[in-house]
Amino acid sequence: MAFSHQVFKKIEAIVGRANCSEAREERLCYGYDNTPEAFYPDAVVFPKNARDVSSVLQLANQYQFPVTPRGAGSGMTGGALPVWGGVVLAMARLNRIIRIDVDNLIAVAEPGVITGDLHRAVLKEGLFYPPDPASSDFCTIGGNAAECAGGPKAVKYGVTRDYVMGLEVVLPTGEIIQTGVETAKGVVGYDLTRLMVGSEGTLGVITRLTLRLLPKPEVVKTATAVFDQMETAAETVSEIIRQGIVPRAIEYMDNASIRCAESHIHAGLPLDAEAMLIIEVDGSAGETAHSMQKIETVCRAAGVREFKSAANADETAGLWKARKAVSPALFAYGPDKINEDIVVPRSKIPDIVKKIKELSLRTGLTMVSFGHAGDGNIHFNIMLDKQNPEALQKAHAAVNELFDYTLSLSGTISGEHGIGTSKSPYMAKEISPESLALMRRIKSAFDPAGILNPGKMLV
Ligand SMILES: Cc1cc2nc3c(=O)[nH]c(=O)nc-3n(C[C@H](O)[C@H](O)[C@H](O)COP(=O)(O)OP(=O)(O)OC[C@H]3O[C@@H](n4cnc5c(N)ncnc54)[C@H](O)[C@@H]3O)c2cc1C
């Protein structure tokens, strides 16, 4: 038996009428993400606690319908799409910050908390939660953990995985488990927390997170470096790292990204530059001044056109606003986007930037690159009209070629956006048949009936 109105009534009896819906307009609102695809689920459920989640999953096993967990739907690879219908579990109402423990540097939160709200709440206590995807104003902590989100500060502070200490998870078969610890160390048993983080809602539904916090850095300094050649900007990133300096962010924007951001928010960006870096350091006043001085020296030696420190917090905020505007502003270049998220070792950034330039010239396609260059992570976008079969075919060939080249540089095809639906056809390029088979066995050990987020990652 699949999903039916009778099953919906059973769910309604458990979660209450106000916490579920079969209405067409509600289903429409929970069937899309940041990919161009959209699907109708049969129903949307807003769980109030882990028990609600458990009951829905038990019914899903009994009646064989798919369940798709969803945070804010900002994912880039289709992870939250209900591709086979069934129930979307919208975690948005589980949105309490339960505890900020200043003595032990931890926060305990529900998955629907908006990442930016957590940033602000811990900052008030003099603390710092580093993972900061550019979507932090609207994405959720649960979605971040499921995707192992990164962001600009990953270059110094790492990604979400490095801050998730423990989880409450509802398994696809309905059991509620606790993983991890609240202590600084802990090695009892397999590391289920790490397995769950980045599993894209295919192994369990996260209903609570224990997160590691840091003391707020004393001083933050931000600068921009403007280049006439994108290769020089890329080489400068590698050189900064080679000099042993670890900024907390080095963001790269090519000319097309600069133009997009400028057209969106008018920040006075250099429209004629081939590339620009936003570089940020943090630490004590002495450390930050010293690091910024060294970075400026590296940039000047490379032939930077302009190196400018942000004069105040407003200027810094303006720069980050510009950087965050790039992704949504890209559609100025075409109605459709093929969006990739490759990572290469930091010393190989110049190679990948040259490759992208060469691909763009050879294919005639509009390619826009920006991203977290400090950790070798370039968001590579092909802007096109998908109704044009020739352009689409060329774009797919270009993606294939870029992935092969990335892997030949010991890189990876997805740094932080996950696999979802859009990258699953490419998994076997990077992962061996033996590892893929093991991943399939793990999935079926967790989810023997295959009801949790089917059609994703391992299809
Ligand atoms: C403008 C823009 C900028 C972005 N910048 C970045 C960036 O800098 N870095 C980055 O890493 N990403 C970035 N992203 C991608 C996206 O925001 C992140 O992947 C984010 O972590 C997704 O969170 P979400 O709440 O929207 O999750 P959703 O999109 O709703 O879901 C993502 C995945 O998580 C699963 N999931 C959600 N909640 C749960 C839960 N409670 N339990 C189990 N599984 C769950 C879903 O099933 C799905 O597979 C950006 C997106 C946009 C639109």
**135, 211, 457: residue to mutate for ligand 1 pocket, most atoms within 8 A of CB:** 135
Measure the CA–CA gap between 53 and 310, rounded to whole angstroms.
47
**pLDDT for the residue 265:** 83
Closest residue CA from atom 46 of ligand 1: 80
Placement of tokens 């030949």 in the chain: 408
DSSP state of 348: G
**Six-digit token pair at 64?**
């064989």
Q: What is the mean pLDDT of residues 300-315?
A: 94
DSSP string, 140-209: BHHHHHHHT---TTHHHH--GGGGEEEEEEE-TTS-EEEEE-SSS----SS-HHHHHTTSTTSS-EEEEE
Nearest CA to ligand 1 atom 7: 133
Distance CA 50, CA 179 (A): 14
Please report the atom of ligand 1 found closest to the CA of residue 327.
1
Which of 182-191, 261-270, 285-294, 423-432 has the weakest average pLDDT?
261-270
Residue nearest to atom 5 of ligand 1 (CA): 134
Distance CA(82)–CA(69), nearest Å, equals: 9
pLDDT, tens only, 419-445? 999 999 999 999 999 999 999 999 999
Q: Write phi, then psi, for 97 (nearest 5 degrees).
A: -85, 110
* Pocket lining: 91 vs ligand 1, CB cutoff 6 Å: yes
**Has residue 13 got a pLDDT over 90?**
yes
Does the CB atom of residue 167 touch ligand 1 within 6 A? no
Phi-psi region of 148 (alpha: psi -120 to 50; beta: other; left: phi over 0): left
- What is the spatial distance between Cα 263 and Cα 325, in angstroms, rounded to a whole number? 9
In this structure, what DSSP letter does residue 217 have?
A: P
Tokens 């020089």 belong to which residue?
Answer: 232
Per residue, the 3-state secondary structure of 291-324, as one string, reads HHHHHHHHHHHHCCCEEEECCCHHHHHHHHHHHH
What is the helix (H) or strand (E) element at residue 394, kind and residue range?
A: helix 389-408
Higher per-residue pLDDT: 324 or 124: 124
Q: Is 69 in the pocket of ligand 1 (CB under 6 A)?
A: yes
- When the pLDDT of each residue in the chain is averaged and rounded to a whole number, the result is 95
User: Tens digit of pLDDT for each residue in 211-246?
Assistant: 999 999 999 999 999 999 999 999 999 999 999 999
For CA atoms 385, 323, 362, 405, give the dihedral sign.
negative
The percent of residues in the chain predicted with pLDDT above 90, rounded, is 93
**Ligand 1: which residue has its CA nearest to atom 49?**
79
Q: In the predicted model, is pLDDT for residue 268 greater than 90? A: no
Q: How many helices (H) and strands (E) does the chain have?
A: 15, 18
Distance 298 CA to ligand 1 centre (A): 35
Alpha-carbon gap, residue 411 to 352, rounded angstroms: 10
**What is the band of 31 on the pLDDT scale with cuts at 50, 70, 90?**
very high
323 CB under 6 A from ligand 1? no
Nearest to 251 by CA among 122, 164, 355, 379: 379
- To test ligand 1's pocket by mutation, which of 33, 37, 74 has the most ligand atoms within 8 angstroms of CB? 74
Q: Is the CB of 453 under 6 A from ligand 1?
A: yes
CA of 371, closest atom in ligand 1: 8
Residue 327's pLDDT is 86
Q: pTM score, two decimals?
A: 0.95
Assigned token pair, 98: 């339960």
pLDDT attached to residue 328? 84
SS3 content of the chain, % helix, strand, coil (to 5): 40, 25, 35
Q: Tell me: the pLDDT tens digits for 325-376?
A: 888 888 888 899 999 999 999 999 999 999 999 999 999 999 999 999 999 9
Question: Does residue 112 have its Cβ closer than 6 Å to ligand 1?
Answer: no
Q: What is the pLDDT averaged over residues 194-223?
A: 97
**Quick one: average pLDDT of 101-105?**
97
Q: Encode 29-80 in three state secondary structure.
A: HCCECCCCCECCCCEEECCCCHHHHHHHHHHHHHHCCCEEEECCCCCCCCCC
Show Cβ contacts of residue 386 under 8 Å, excluding neighbours closer than 6 positions. Answer: 36, 335, 336, 392
Q: Which of 139, 199, 252, 446 maximizes ligand 1 atoms within 8 Å of its Cβ, making it the mutation to test the pocket?
A: 139
Whether pLDDT at 1 is above 80: no
- Helix, strand, or coil (residue 320): helix
- Closest-lying ligand 1 atom to the alpha carbon of residue 169: 42
Which residue segments constitute the domains of the chain, with CATH numbers given? 93-215 (3.30.465.10), 219-408 (3.40.462.10)
CA distance 284 to 18: 50
Instruction: Assess whether the C-beta atom of 411 lies below 6 angstroms from ligand 1.
Output: no
* 407 alpha carbon – ligand 1 mean position (Å): 24
Atom 53 of ligand 1: nearest residue by CA position: 74
Q: How confident is the model at residue 264 (pLDDT cuts 50, 70, 90)?
A: confident
At 420 the pLDDT is 97
| Alpha carbons 238 and 362: distance in angstroms, whole number | 26
pLDDT digits (tens, 9 = 90+) for 167-194: 999 999 999 999 999 999 999 999 999 9
Is the minimum distance from the CB of 201 to ligand 1 under 6 angstroms? yes
Q: Report CA(418)–ligand 1 centroid distance (Å).
A: 9
- Kindly state if the Cβ of 73 falls inside 6 Å of ligand 1: yes
